[in-house]
Structure formats: structure tokens, C-alpha cells
Structure 1
Amino acid sequence: MNDSPLGLFITWTVYGTFLPGDARHWRHRIGGEQPSSAGLQRWHQERLVHPVILLDNKMRQLASDSIAEMTDFRDWTIWNIQARTNHVHVVVSAPGYAPALVRDQMKAQATRGLRRSFPVFVDRPVWTTKGDIQFLDTEADIETCVRYLSEAQDRKGRDQ
């Protein structure tokens, strides 16, 4: 019996963005979706050790390409990758692999690529720790996430 989900919808954020308390939304690792809190967000902002560096178009493309290269090597199926200025979304199927390992390997590969090409990322974090992983158990779930990444991200009026 295979207990692996059909796919994974993985999201992680750029260092210093979507901090706890963020008015757009934020997720607690255990408690899930949380309400905004300006005081909590300010508290976390004041404790950032490095400046926030949003990804420009070249950085976004390099992060996407690095992830695609690694997942191809691992023989995982990438359904969609969207590297945005302040976060990355990936819809992937990686049967037999622990979801956290899949996320961490993709983040590490994107980090290597960015640090190799953009010295500003050397000796500092690129991403926040961990990230969100949602299980996709049906083809319809995968299709919905792919459509969201392909269409809804830009319609939301958020960052590119």
C-alpha cells in the first residue's frame, strides 16, 4: 500500500516576508491560519538580522530553473513552479519521499543557484525556515493548484 499523496502543494517565503502577524495572512506551523497582529509582526521585523531582499525577475527564473533541474534529476513530476518576488509555490509529485525532505531539497537547490549567481545571498538566509506543505490526494486537487498558480496569482494583484 502506498501512503504517499498523489501530489504536494509546497510554499515557502523569502526571508523576512510574511512574518507572524502579517495582515495578508500567516500560518502557524501547528495552529494553521492565524489572524493578523500588527504588534506581533513589528516584533518579528525588529528582530530580523538581515535586510529583506525580494527576488527580481532573473532571481525568480534562476530559482525556478534550479528547482526544475533538481526535480528532473530526482525523477519527480513538477506540475507547476511559480517563484514570486516574496515566495515560491511548487506543485510536485514525489512518491516515496517524505514531504518535508522534498521541500527542503527544493529550497536547498534554489539557494545554491541563487548564491552562485547573486553574491548578495552569500552568508545570509534566502528563505524563512520550513514552509507550508499541503497534500493533494486527487488529480482534481493537482489541477486546482496548477490553475491557481497559472491564473489566480496575477489576478490577486499581489507581487509578481
Structure 2
Amino acid sequence: MSFATRALLCSHGMKSDRPNEPPLPEPLGYLLTWRTHGSWLPGDQRGWVRKAGGNQAPDEQRHRAAARAMNAEEVRLNSQQRIIAEQAIRDHCQFRNWQLFAVNCRSNHVHAVVSADLHPKEVLRQLKAWATRRLNEADSPQDAWWAEKGSIRYLNSEAALEGGIVYVRDAQDRK
């Protein structure tokens, strides 16, 4: 098993028997992931995730319907936009006094490992909102920079936290 695979498995709570639920009393951090608008639609050939149904197989008909329903073009961040989004996340975490362990903004998604005093859905919402504000200030404003939702993984152990950090910091394609 490769280093990147081990880091991914660890970051996704594989050391924990409850990776999608908060531990008692509270997690050490969260691995938050969100995609750019339109970059991974339901039915995608790579597979996709349905909240209540888990991993789903590719479905070309569903993918075409999702593409037709999009209200804006697919977003791919350029290198300058990635820097702006990352800095917005760093600044907001510092302002809120949240511990940002790692952040990595790619062309079509963002990963952040954060410890915060709020529910992770609210942390995710705020990070996306502040990255949007900064991108709109610096670039041509868009209605939608990000997909509607995102992924939240509870990092319930030291090993899971370290795995999440390593995954975000070292296991991403650097193109």
C-alpha cells in the first residue's frame, strides 16, 4: 500500500469505527472538502456520492440531466485564484481563532483540516463564503464558485488527524 493510500485511509477515519459521526466528547478536527461548481456532477463517469445512498456508479443519463440543470459554467481555478482562495481560508481561520492544520486549493476542489468551536457544516459554509468574497473582489464576480455542498470527515484520533494533514499537504496532484 502506497504512502498516499495509507494517508488517505487514515485521513478518512479508517482508524476510527465512527468516521462520519462526531466522537464523544468532541473531534480533534475535521477534514473538509468541497468542489468547484460543476466539476463533479451526479452521474459522473468517475462515480459519485449520494448523501443517503453512499457511493454511486456512473450514470450517463443522470450526468447529462445535471449538466443541463446547471445555472452557471463549470469553474476551474487558475493558479492566482487558488492562492486567493487559500489565503481567504487562512485569514478566516485566524480571525475566528480556529486551528488550521492544512489547506490545499486545487483547480477543482479544496481540502482543509480544521479544528473549530462550531459545527463542521457551519465551518464549511463560512470557509466557502469567505473564499467566494475574496475571489469576487479580485476577479470577475460569479454567482457560483463552489458546488452546493461538501464532504465532512470527523478526525477522531491523533492518527486520523495526522493522516488528514498528510493527505492534504502531501498527497495532492501538484499540477
Distance in structure 2 (CA, Å) of the matches to 1:90 and 1:73: 16
Say yes or no: does 1:40 pair with 2:66: no
1:109 counterpart letter in structure 2:
W
* Aligned position for 2:132: 111
Higher relative contact order (CA closer than 8 Å, sequence separation 6+): 2
Mapped contact 1:18–1:25 kept (Cα < 8 A): no
Distance in structure 1 (CA, Å) of the matches to 2:25 and 2:49: 25
Q: Give the aligned length.
A: 153
* Aligned position for 2:35: 13
Q: TM-score, normalised by structure 2?
A: 0.82
Mapped contact 1:7–1:142 kept (Cα < 8 A): yes
* Aligned position for 1:133: 152
Q: Report the alpha carbon displacement of residue 64 of structure 1 after superposing the two structures with TM.
A: 0.3
The runs of at least 4 aligned residues of structure 1 exceeding 3 Å deviation read none
Q: What's the RMSD between the two structures over aligned residues?
A: 1.7
What secondary structure is seen at the aligned counterpart in 2 of 1:16?
coil
Mapped contact 2:103–2:169 kept (Cα < 8 A): no
1:139 counterpart letter in structure 2:
E
Distance in structure 2 (CA, Å) of the matches to 1:24 and 1:82: 21
Unaligned stretches of 5+ residues in structure 1: none
Unaligned stretches of 5+ residues in structure 2: 1-23
Question: Taking every aligned residue pair, what percent have the same amino acid on both sides?
Answer: 35
**1:26-57 CA-partner distances (Å, limit 9, x unpaired):** 22122222222122111111221211120000
